Chains A and B, each alone.
Chain A
Amino acid sequence: MIPNILGWLFDPAHWSGSDGIASRIVEHLWYSALAMVLACLIAIPAGLAIGHTGRGRFLAVNLAGAARAIPSLGLLYLMVLWLFPKLAGDSAFLVPAIIVLVVLAIPPIMAGAYSGVEGVDPGARDAAKGMGMTGMQVLRQVEVPCALPLIFSGVRSAILQVIATATLAAVAGTGGLGRFIIDGQKVHEFAQMASGAILVAVLALVIDLLMSLVQRSVVSPGLGAGPATSGRAGRRSRTAPSGNTPVDVEIDSSGRTVDAPAR
């Protein structure tokens, strides 16, 4: 089975052309990037505002929790069914898919932003105020840099979900790497399906690795984030922003929703 898959995957004929692997990767990245940019434009300012002012937190936590329960595949089918007749051409497939991806990406990004700002050492915030900084200056020069590890954690978590769901979008007629899985299934060609799956998995891993490198270069070394330091002994406190793995934000935000009913 394995040689079969590798044979398909590395066949040069499958790499070229508008429905070849190379252009499917570009499509996949394009959908994911477009959705992530839109989601960040909405979720980061909203999350920072919630974290800075402390307002709207209850609503945000519960919305994010509810959004997680909605099956993305169902939402995708629903959006296409609803919007397809209203749009024309390629955008009829693309717009519903992008909407679903944006909706999916918003909760983790927002959770990362507000829990990051909330987690900033109150001493640092007080010191900044004491130095005469305005609210906006405190946010931009103190809170955002200190919150970066958790903001990154949220963004990385969102990227992984977006890449995974962009694969599903192929059932609704878009391009991207999911096409190989869907088309391979139609013609009962497992090698093609498996190749598509391998490509998506590798793409997700590579993008996450790149993001961890970006994170390491952007986040202040004083905050001690990043794989190099996260394993150090003495990092026992759960509240410390050890946000390197994308999973952190999810656990973190759910830990808070646990608090609510426990009184």
Chain B
Amino acid sequence: MTWFIDHLDLVWTRTLQHAYLAGLPLVIGLLLALPLGWLARRYRPLFVPLIAGFGLLYTIPSLALFVLMPAIIGTQIISPTNVIVGLTLYTLALLVRTVADGLGAVPESVKQSATAMGYTPVKRFFAVDLPLAVPVISAGLRVAAVSNVSIASVATIIGIPQLGLFFSDGFSRDFYDPLIVGIVGCVVLALVFDGVILLLTRAFTPWVRATGSRA
């Protein structure tokens, strides 16, 4: 405990680094998954290649992906970009499917009503389909958030600063305190991410509380 208090600054810095490494890919991944998921749903022949293709990314072990990044995108081996791109790919692997599923779960009658009320396809997507898909997309995003936080700590092995460095600190010095601080820090960060996504979901889906139903 004294170790934790003495190193509060370092813990905070690494928590912020960790939040950036794990959080940025979530945002980028979500922004990319929305059009990709829509494409998979809109154009049937694209569904299988898109879903299977991104699903395949998930089979690549994280450390392998981080190590191979420099060979693929030409970065330095210790560049945080490797981790950000890698985690973005994992986020996509989870979210493209979730977005496609969420959009697919919007009832046909609702879409037809919206069209009958004069919604253009673009306006209907943003005003009707997407909001109704939010609960499903959010479920996928929560899984991605928690796994990103955990996977980001693997970047320790390639020497990128984040909470995981406390693991190797503690391990190499045979000292439990930093190790525990690192693990607890990761779990707390994952819970914070989860909480933020839940709050955002509630803000975007006021009807769930109003009617007690999930779309």
Contact = CB atoms under 8 A, between A and B. Distances in A.
Interface stretch (B29-37, B53-61, B117-125): B53-61
B167 to A, nearest CB: 4
A75 B64 CA distance: 19
Contact of A194 (B67, B94, B183): B67
Interface string A234-263: 001010000001110011001100110111
Contacts of A246: 55, 58-59
A182 to B, nearest CB: 7
Contact of B150 (A1, A71, A204, A263): A71
A194 B68 contact: yes
A20 B103 CA distance: 49
B20 interface: no
Nearest to A252: B139
Contact of A262 (B142, B146, B214): B214
A245 B97 contact: yes
A194 B158 CA distance: 12
Contacts of A69: 146, 149-150, 186-187, 190-191
B61 A204 contact: yes
Chain B: interface secondary structure? helix
Contacts of A5: 71
A81 interface: yes
A78 B147 CA distance: 19
Interface core residue of B171, B174, B187, B198 (most chain A CB under 10 Å):
B171
Contacts of A14: none
A95 to B, nearest CB: 16
Nearest to B101: A238
A222 interface: no
Interface string B49-87: 001100110111111110110110000010000000000
Interface in B162-212: 163-164, 167-168, 170-171, 174, 176, 179-180, 182-183, 186-187, 190-191, 198, 208, 212
Contacts of B55: 245-247
A250 B145 CA distance: 12
B3 to A, nearest CB: 15
B140 interface: yes
Contacts of B158: 185
A251 B98 contact: yes
A70 B61 contact: no
B208 A255 contact: no
A23 interface: no
B64 A74 contact: no
A2 B71 CA distance: 7
B167 A255 contact: no
A15 interface: no
A201 B149 contact: no
7 smallest CB-CB distances across A and B, nearest first, come from: A164-B61, A197-B64, A231-B48, A69-B190, A197-B67, A74-B183, A71-B153
Given A164-B61, A190-B77, 16 more contacts: A69-B146, A73-B153, A171-B157, A181-B157, A182-B157, A197-B64, A197-B65, A197-B68, A200-B61, A201-B59, A201-B60, A201-B64, A204-B61, A227-B52, A233-B44, A251-B97
